[in-house]
Structure 1
């Protein structure tokens, strides 16, 4: 009997610990209103003119008019827009703990320098900045609902805070967003590995008559070309530190500059992309 009681008690304790852990890991929806207010909790229903919403840690259901909502960022990472806010110039980023308001970083996106590992196995910081710039340019064209922070601004803020590719992990994604004054931060890496070398050769033969004699000449040439595998990894975090997108992809093409089309492939699948 005592053994059964101990077993039941152990099961109850395990269930309690599991429920607490599950509650801590639970992700929440974020409703961003037109005035910049952010509501964290669960969206339980969406109608034509209103949504039903329960605040985090509460049980009462509220009704919010869709005309008052700019967007909903669901726990899954999907973003649904309701009312597009008037376009404006990106707000100037502020230093950490400077009292940034929600409106100052709302819909702002920063692209960090990519961690670029060349085929030789060493980090190439210049190429990392090149990929950052390419990502920024493509997003400017294909993320019309967002303001993409200029890489020069992003990099200046990183330098002023003694941050570079090697030590970016010293800040959490939420802290990084606050530092850069944005709502979303893009992290990325490019890794190139040489997969093989192809050698080819060709021969040519010519002859020339000289009376009763023939002079012949052989011509030969050889070429070699290397093939590469390019892997691009991309992650996007919001200012709450939540990961809203993560994917990695190997290039379809074997050349060393194949990261460009692979980068575009990933961007098209992010919640920031609009056709």
Structure 2
């Protein structure tokens, strides 16, 4: 009988402890690989952080070099600066374009946790024509979405598109040939460890709508009775529809970590924008 009372006491105590743990605010360790550890931080040194996992009495440690920030339960935040990782720069093999000079390449220092957004290739699959204006517009649209939601990609930062395009221009790369350049070369030229590459292919079609109407006008002429005028008319209206396929690729170092395609549900001129944002929000570096 005493044993049953003891077991009942233990179950009640455990239940209350779990309820308290679920209701209380916790510290969050945000790692550089985008994982989040919910815990109670007990000690921070220059080299490591000690913490207790929820519901565990064992003290764990993690190196500070692997941590981007700590969000404490009281609302305070502590960020950890990352050391830039210098990587050997590869000389670009000669192709149909002139290679950038070694001096230009050495000026670009490789940076960690930085995303570069490449010009988005827009191509009409019927005519195989590419658009410079749409390419820049789409690149800036992606950049703006990342900057507006910078907290959702922390600890990553975004390289300014002016810097990106300037470095590409020095290497004689633009929207016409950028999807032919190996990712290793682009990383060396841009000096980043993350790259977003997008492409939008589309076709257009015209829908002709024939609209007809009829009207009846009734006019009175005093004692002469009522005069009725009937008129019929028709006209056509042309509407252009856009059928898009949006490609979205993300690279970390030289590895492709995310690759998706999406066709917009609607066929409006700017429908590609919704699909691009949809794919961005589901990429590995984007957190809600």
Shorter-chain TM-score: what band?
Answer: 0.5 to 0.7
Change (3 A) 1:224 1:168: closer
- Which residue pairs with 1:245 in the alignment? 258
Q: TM-score, normalised by structure 1?
A: 0.63
- Which residue pairs with 1:270 in the alignment? 283
1:111 to 102, 107, 117: 117
2:272 to 259, 267, 275: 259
**Deviations 1:51-97, CA, capped at 9 Å, x for gaps:** xxxxxxxxxxxxxx3433137xxxxxxxxxxx85359xxxxxx9434
Change (3 A) 1:206 1:86: farther
2: CA distance, partners of 1:200 / 1:85 = 65
**Deviations 1:9-28, CA, capped at 9 Å, x for gaps:** xxxxxxxxxxxxxxxxxxxx
Following TM superposition, by how much is the alpha carbon of 1:231 offset from its aligned partner in structure 2, in angstroms? 1.2
Change (3 A) 1:236 1:226: same
1: CA distance, partners of 2:119 / 2:108 = 26
- Which residue pairs with 1:142 in the alignment? 149
Equivalences for 1:89-168 in 2 at 5 Å? 95-98=104-107, 100=109, 105-118=111-124, 121=127, 122-144=129-151, 145=154, 146-168=156-178
Following TM superposition, by how much is the alpha carbon of 1:266 offset from its aligned partner in structure 2, in angstroms? 0.6
Q: How many residues align?
A: 199
Change (3 A) 1:31 1:193: closer
- SS of the residue corresponding to residue 270 of structure 1 reads coil
Following TM superposition, by how much is the alpha carbon of 1:172 offset from its aligned partner in structure 2, in angstroms? 2.0
- SS of the residue corresponding to residue 155 of structure 1 reads helix
Change (3 A) 1:105 1:118: same
Following TM superposition, by how much is the alpha carbon of 1:184 offset from its aligned partner in structure 2, in angstroms? 0.7
Rg: which structure is higher?
A: 2
Following TM superposition, by how much is the alpha carbon of 1:161 offset from its aligned partner in structure 2, in angstroms? 1.3
- SS of the residue corresponding to residue 178 of structure 1 reads helix
2: CA distance, partners of 1:150 / 1:132 = 11
Change (3 A) 1:257 1:169: closer
1: CA distance, partners of 2:141 / 2:148 = 11
Change (3 A) 1:126 1:265: same
Q: TM-score, normalised by structure 2?
A: 0.60
**Residue pair 1:115, 1:190 contacting (<8 A) in 2 also:** yes
Change (3 A) 1:193 1:186: same
Following TM superposition, by how much is the alpha carbon of 1:123 offset from its aligned partner in structure 2, in angstroms? 1.0
1:207 aligns with 2:213: no
Change (3 A) 1:197 1:48: farther
Unaligned runs of 5+ in 1: 1-29, 36-46, 51-64, 72-82, 88-93
2: CA distance, partners of 1:84 / 1:165 = 37
**Deviations 1:165-223, CA, capped at 9 Å, x for gaps:** 22224532122112111111111111121255141413031223343443332243332
**Deviations 1:93-136, CA, capped at 9 Å, x for gaps:** x9434573xxx511111011111024763211110110000000
- Which residue pairs with 1:190 in the alignment? 200
1:218 aligns with 2:229: no
Following TM superposition, by how much is the alpha carbon of 1:152 offset from its aligned partner in structure 2, in angstroms? 1.3
1:233 aligns with 2:247: yes
